[in-house]
């Protein structure tokens, strides 16, 4: 039975890997590759400038400890499905091997992010510690050991039917104390936190001998992680498994005034549909909002004449490209069947929506850029030029695709 459980997990893992391999073709395309390359270059440039003049009034061991404590809270990926609550329930006593594989998979899946954080913060503490790194090695070892021990403890915690927030809070406090002791106090006593975690694992495991698996929590948690992944992929291509949801957002109600009677016709219906779907939609709105926030942080952080303008123009280009999937979600949905109109009117409404989005984002970027570089305020026009050119390119491709579909 243990062999069957192990085979089941391997088949689930292969299925997930195959799905990710398929979607990676759409994610890591030319546009996204260029974006990542420019983003990496901007980060290295800004980080290098930061290391030359590190602020002395900030507690970096505490800040980095908090960041690493958060990234060390690895989620448990069980790869369970909704039907497993029925079909695997009779074999629960044989599922221990499955869960061991699950914990190892959960650890390896998030390990690259943890390694990346260790590498990113190394130059900072190399400079702060006057080119010594002995305790940073200890910090790196803790950052690699903590997540796996945390996963094991989290599993025993869930099995004992305790709340998720409590184990996250407990692990965060222990991780933070260990990281802070190593980075600030520079003491090997941080090893005591590992002993505490292992002792907790053995205590709760002893109590859990007769406890059953929390099937509902395990299945719900896995479904949530899958949906989060699909939302990310949906930024690049359509995902059939993703369910569209709506959010009220009362603070945006002034932007959704009921149109006048003369606008209730086929010439204006799709502009209103795209506009309303974007403001009320959960995924597209959140994606664009995140991109805007990231771009503004980079613009303020780097704060150089040409680099800041290039970052704003690049993100304007990316934001408009990301909305291309938004067209397919709306134009091929229910409305064309309820009220059929010509393809040209749908594309025209989408074009008008993109121009409004471009103007809104461009105004935000222009305000930030002018505040940062008032002497070169005229370069803010670059955001609108890039937006206009990108929209023209997107619309031309849509019109060409529609002609192919008609043929």
pLDDT in tens, 200-231: 999 998 888 878 888 888 899 898 888 888 87
Instruction: State how far the Cα of 45 lies from the Cα of 126, in Å rounded to an integer.
Output: 18
Distances (CA, A) of 154 to 126, 151, 197, 338: 33, 5, 11, 50
CA gap 318, 315 in Å, rounded: 5
Whole-number pLDDT of residue 282: 65
The pLDDT value recorded for residue 64 is 93
Cβ atoms < 10 Å from Cβ of 105: 18
Helix axes of 96-128 and 134-159: crossing angle, nearest 10 degrees = 150
Query: Given this model, what pLDDT does residue 270 score?
Result: 75
What average pLDDT does the structure give for the chain?
A: 83
Q: What is the pLDDT of residue 339?
A: 65
Residues 23 and 238: beta-carbon distance below 8 Å: no
Spans of the chain, pLDDT less than 50: none
What span, in angstroms and rounded, lies between the C-alpha atoms of 214 and 159?
A: 6
Report the pLDDT value the prediction gives residue 200, as an integer from 0 to 100: 93
């Amino acid at each position: 039975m243990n062999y069957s459980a192990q085979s089941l997990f391997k088949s689930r893992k292969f299925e997930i890997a195959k799905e990710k391999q398929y979607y990676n073709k759409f994610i890591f395309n030319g546009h996204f590759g260029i974006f990542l390359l420019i983003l990496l270059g901007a980060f290295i440039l800004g980080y290098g400038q930061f290391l030359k003049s590190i602020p002395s009034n900030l507690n970096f061991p505490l800040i980095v400890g908090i960041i690493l404590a958060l990234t060390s809270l690895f989620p448990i990926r069980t790869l369970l499905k909704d039907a497993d609550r029925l079909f695997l329930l009779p074999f629960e006593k044989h599922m221990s091997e499955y869960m061991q594989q699950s914990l190892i998979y959960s650890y390896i899946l998030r390990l690259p992010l943890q390694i990346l954080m260790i590498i990113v913060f190394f130059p900072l503490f190399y400079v702060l510690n006057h080119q010594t790194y002995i305790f940073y090695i200890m910090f790196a070892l803790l950052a690699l050991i903590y997540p796996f021990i945390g996963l094991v403890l989290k599993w025993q915690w869930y099995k004992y039917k305790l709340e998720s927030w409590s184990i996250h809070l407990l692990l965060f406090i222990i991780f933070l104390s260990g990281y802070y002791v190593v980075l600030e106090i520079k003491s090997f006593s941080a090893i005591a936190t590992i002993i505490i975690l292992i002792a907790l694992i053995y205590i709760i495991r002893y109590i859990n001998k007769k406890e059953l698996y929390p099937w509902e929590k395990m299945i719900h948690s896995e479904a949530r992680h899958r949906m989060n992944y699909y939302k990310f992929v949906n930024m690049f291509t359509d995902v059939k498994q993703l369910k569209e949801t709506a959010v009220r957002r009362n603070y945006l109600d002034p932007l959704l005034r009921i149109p006048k009677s003369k606008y209730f016709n086929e010439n204006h219906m799709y502009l209103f549909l795209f506009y309303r779907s974007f403001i009320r939609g959960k995924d597209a709105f959140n994606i664009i909002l995140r991109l805007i926030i990231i771009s503004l942080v980079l613009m303020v952080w780097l704060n150089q004449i040409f680099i800041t303008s290039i970052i704003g123009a690049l993100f304007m280009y990316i934001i408009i490209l990301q909305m291309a999937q938004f067209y397919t979600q709306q134009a091929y949905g229910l409305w064309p069947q309820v009220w059929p109109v010509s393809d040209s009117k749908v594309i025209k409404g989408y074009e008008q929506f993109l121009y409004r989005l471009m103007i809104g984002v461009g105004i935000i970027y222009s305000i930030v850029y002018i505040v940062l570089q008032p002497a070169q305020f005229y370069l803010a026009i670059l955001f609108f030029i890039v937006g206009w050119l990108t929209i023209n390119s997107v619309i031309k491709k849509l019109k060409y695709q529609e002609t192919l579909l008609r043929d």
